[in-house]
Structure 1
Amino acid sequence: MAPKSGEEWGTALSHLVLSVVSLHAAVCTAQANRGAAAGFLLQALAAATMLAPGLGTDEDCQAGAWVATVIGLPLLAFDFHWVNGDHSSANLLLGGGMVLAVAGDHLGVEGRSVAGQAVVLVVSVTVVIVAVFTANTYGVWGGTMLGVAGLLSRLEEDNFLLPKEDAGRWALAAGSWAYCRALHVQHLQWG
Structure 2
Amino acid sequence: MVSKPRNEWSAVLSQLVLAGVSLHAAVSSVQSSRGAAAGFLLQTFAAIIMLAPGLNTHEDCLAGAWVATVIGLPLLAFDFHWVNGDRSSANLLLGGGMVLAVAGGHLGPEGCSVAGQAVLLVVAVTILIVAVFTANTYGMWGGAMLGVAGLLSRLEEDRLLLLPKEDVCRWALAAGSWAYCRALHTQRLQWE
> What TM-score, normalized by structure 2, do the two folds share?
0.96
Distance 2:165 2:94 in 1: 28
Please name the residue that 1:17 is paired with.
Answer: 17
Distance 2:56 2:157 in 1: 29
Matches within 5 A, 1:57-76: 57-76=57-76
Please name the residue that 1:43 is paired with.
Answer: 43
Note if 1:139 corresponds to 2:139.
yes
Please name the residue that 2:5 is paired with.
Answer: 5
Distance 1:59 1:39 in 2: 21
Please name the residue that 1:148 is paired with.
Answer: 148
Please name the residue that 1:32 is paired with.
Answer: 32
**Percent of residue pairs identical:** 80
Please name the residue that 2:112 is paired with.
Answer: 112
1:142-181 deviation digits (Å, cap 9, x = unpaired): 0000000001100011112211100000000000000000
Note if 1:181 corresponds to 2:189.
no
Give the length in aligned residue pairs: 189
Q: Structure 1: which 5+ runs fail to align?
A: none
Q: How far is the alpha carbon of 1:60 from its aligned partner?
A: 1.6
Distance 2:78 2:102 in 1: 19
> What TM-score, normalized by structure 1, do the two folds share?
0.97
1:76-125 deviation digits (Å, cap 9, x = unpaired): 00000000000000000000000000000000001001100110110000
Please name the residue that 2:91 is paired with.
Answer: 91
SS of 1:85's equivalent? coil
- RMSD value over aligned CA atoms? 1.2
Distance 1:103 1:124 in 2: 22
Please name the residue that 1:172 is paired with.
Answer: 173
Give structure 1 regions of 4+ aligned residues with deviation exceeding 6 angstroms: none
SS of 2:102's equivalent? helix
